[in-house]
Chain A
Amino acid sequence: MNMTSVTPNSNGYDDDPAAIAAMAESMRTGERGPAAALAMRVVAAVGRASGATRYRRIVSAHVDSCLYHGRAGLDFARRLVDLGGHVSVRTTSNVGSLDLRHPGLVRLEGEIRRDAKALMQAYCDLGCAETFTCAPYQITHRPDVGAHVAWAESNAIAFVNSVLGARTERYGDFLDIAAAITGLVPDVGLHTDTGRRPVMVLDCSPVPARVWESDIAWAALGAVVGGRAGVRVAALTGLPGDLSDGGTTEDRLKALAATAASAGGVALFHVVGVTPEAPPDMSLGGLPVSAVTIGDLAAARDRLSTATGTDLDAVSIGTPHFSLSEFAALARELAGGSAFDERVDVYVSTSRAVLAEADRLGYVDPLRRAGGRVVTDTCTYVTPILAPTAHTVMTNSGKWAWYAPGNLGVDVALGTLRDCVTSAREGRIVHVDTSWD
């Protein structure tokens, strides 16, 4: 049964509890069709385990289940399709295991390739938009402050909570689509006012202002926040930023959020004076305070690098997916310079939507002329794209640096965007950024 008749109300986050309970009951009893009933059982299983006593109605969902992990995931999606399932709220799709726009890039073959593609198709059949991006908050999908949503993918969760001020718990496989179909989530954790309050303060004011001009300082800060906060909510003080500056602050907070989520399970942080739930006069009295120094950042940066020599096989940037403002910065770095060394493969991962806009603005041609390649719909650390002979890879992404050594068996060198471009041109690892010295 098609559920599109259920639309979110204008302020979906303070819906009437009795109406929500009736909605859940009608799905439980099968009145809204077998797919909604199945999805409701999945949401309820999580509600029971987490001790919830009521649901919240959501205005949007972001689904991560389209990344292939084996047959069970495909069987579940196909069951929902066969039962006539359809999302009831605006739903975007996370990366899959294939780049459907550039089919030659991913080296998956046979049954796995077929099933990975079928999985992405099944989620489209359920009504998910074909965004296939881990950064749905760029261009396409931005819920209002205070709205309840059900987002999966750890960086997207941390970003939508922290930077956009919408409310999601840490959702993942199966629950994401079940919430999208039912439009409901258990009212626990980060959906509640109490759950969103900071329990600790990280004071970043000892770090010299010039360091924040370096993109990897934000990745390093993410590793520090992840290590100190774990899964707790931290308030960060002493940081520069302005969310209406055209994307620079967003890109920095994206790097911070993604690395903090990888290194510690952070799903929400507040940057006092910058993010929507943290006004400059935010009350932080009584909370434990710890200082973040340039030494802490340098140590975190060094821990994110495993490469020891200067040999370089590839550069991968765009984890989470490259934004429009990052494409603009890359085009500026590439302007008038030489092509990349032919021994170094350069990949930039992004979404279809950002790629189309960046192409329209002429930001992508300089990359292609230099010999770089664009990856969409997926990412270089979750599926085989890099050459099997690649041993050492440079990135400016703290998240990529965190996961790639384990996932791909490569050594990683963390460097700024300028370091990445310079190294790709010279065919060896070089660090030209001096803002930390």
Chain B
Amino acid sequence: MSTPLGTDHGLTLTCRVLHPGAASGPLTVLDEPVSFWGGVSADGTIIDARHPQRGESVTGVVLAMEAGRGSSSSSSVLAEQIRSGAAPAAIVLAEPDVILVLGAAVAAEIYGIDMPIVQIDPADFAALPQRGWAQIITGDGARAGDDHGGDDHVGDDHVGDDHDGDDHDGRARAGILHDNLDCTANLMVTPR
């Protein structure tokens, strides 16, 4: 669903927006997913005793992990970290995770802070450099086009469709989008 573009400065990946926003920060790729409830402390430190990156901080980084993990209470923990400033700058996933999306959506509603969550292709995820600088850019320059490939729609029920075509801020629309996969952003990664 995305095309990595090799440039002198690194990679530009097209990603699907799960929660909108713009952010940049050091890239941290987790070796395995972590549960925010029970696995990350209130100050943003990985505390899961079985996690290989235990002791590292997620605060302010663009946190890449393959998928979400663990308790549904992670929504509350993430929202609280976004409020307190201990959260990552952004989260990059290879599989959608509604628990994390809920935490970001509620923090945006209550505190007006958007911590972007994006989904990239698993092959792109595997190719991410272990360390680097990452930036997420949403907006006109990031539109991938009408890529409906692989989308599995059930029937033609458009629930609250809002095809105004311009507004890619997910919070502005309450309906579930028929074309929900073409709301995209760019993830730019500079290895170091």
Contacts and interface: CB of A to CB of B under 8 A. Distances in A.
B72 interface: yes
A72 B76 CA distance: 7
A87 interface: no
A174 B63 CA distance: 23
Contact of B72 (A25, A37, A173): A173
A170 B153 CA distance: 21
B180 A72 contact: no
B176 A69 contact: no
A49 interface: yes
A53 B159 contact: yes
B109 A38 contact: yes
B105 A55 contact: no
Interface string B20-56: 0000000000000000011000100000010000000
Given A79-B110, A152-B72, A21 B158 contact: yes
A13 to B, nearest CB: 16
A387 interface: no
A204 interface: no
B72 A51 contact: no
Interface in A31-64: 37-38, 40-55, 64
B3 interface: no
Interface residues of A, number: 49
Contact of A50 (B72, B96, B154): B96
Given A49-B101, A69-B37, A172-B102, A187 B154 contact: yes
A38 B101 CA distance: 15
Given A41-B105, A76-B79, A48 B177 contact: yes
A70 interface: yes
Given A70-B76, A76-B79, A21 B157 contact: yes
Contacts of A47: 159, 176
A24 B173 CA distance: 11
A206 interface: no
Contacts of B158: 21, 53
A176 to B, nearest CB: 9
A21 B153 contact: no
B127 interface: no
A211 B174 CA distance: 52
B98 A49 contact: yes
Contacts of B97: 49
A307 interface: no
A186 interface: yes
A140 to B, nearest CB: 22
Contacts of B159: 17, 20-21, 24, 47, 52-55
Contacts of A172: 71-75, 99, 102
Contacts of A52: 159, 176
Interface in B66-125: 71-77, 79-80, 82-83, 96-99, 101-103, 105-107, 109-111
A71 B80 contact: yes
A27 interface: yes
B151 interface: yes
A406 B80 contact: no
B178 interface: yes
Nearest to B171: A41
Given A48-B180, A172-B72, A406-B38, A53 B102 contact: no
Given A51-B151, A53-B155, A175 B98 contact: yes
A88 B97 CA distance: 27
B175 A25 contact: yes
A46 B174 contact: no
Contacts of A351: none
A79 B106 CA distance: 11
A76 B83 CA distance: 12
A65 interface: yes
A112 to B, nearest CB: 12
Interface of A: 17, 20-21, 24-25, 27-29, 37-38, 40-55, 64-65, 67, 69-73, 75-76, 79, 152, 154, 170-175, 186-187, 406-407
Given A48-B170, A70-B42, 7 more contacts: A38-B109, A48-B176, A48-B180, A51-B152, A54-B155, A72-B110, A406-B38
Interface of B: 18-19, 37-38, 42, 49, 71-77, 79-80, 82-83, 96-99, 101-103, 105-107, 109-111, 151-155, 157-160, 170-171, 173-178, 180-181, 183
20 contacts: A17-B157, A21-B157, A24-B159, A42-B106, A42-B109, A43-B174, A49-B18, A51-B181, A52-B159, A52-B176, A54-B157, A64-B73, A69-B77, A70-B76, A72-B107, A75-B111, A154-B71, A172-B71, A172-B73, A407-B38
